[in-house]
Structure 1
Amino acid sequence: MSAVVLGCLALCVALRRRPAARTIVGALAWTLGIAYFAVELPAVAASAAPYDPLVQPMSDLGVTTCGTGTYPLADYAICSPWHDAVNWAFLLSGLVVALGAWCLHPVGARPGAHRSRRSILAATLLVTWGLSMASSGLFPADTHFWTHTLLAVPGMVVHIPALLVLRAALRDARPGLARWTGICATVSIATLTGVVAAPLVPGLGELGGLLQRLLYAVVWVWTLGVAAATAVTAARSAGAQHGRGT
Structure 2
Amino acid sequence: MRVHIVESYEELSTKAASIVSSQVILKPNSVLGLATGSTPEGMYRNLVQLYKRDLIDFSEVISFNLDEYIGLDANHQQSYTSYMFNNLFNHVNFKEEHINIPIEAEDKLQEFCLKYDKKIERAGGIDLQVLGIGTNGHIGFNEPDNKLKTGTHIVDLAEETIEANSRFFNSKEEVPKQAVSMGMSSIMGSKKILLLASGENKAEAIKNTINGKITTEVPSSLLQLHPDVTIVVDKAAAKLIK
- State TM-score, norm by structure 1: 0.27
**Larger strand proportion, structure 1 or 2?**
2
**Larger helix proportion, structure 1 or 2?**
1
Larger RCO, structures 1/2 (Cα 8 Å, 6+ apart): 2
Which of structures 1 and 2 has the bigger CA Rg? Answer: 1
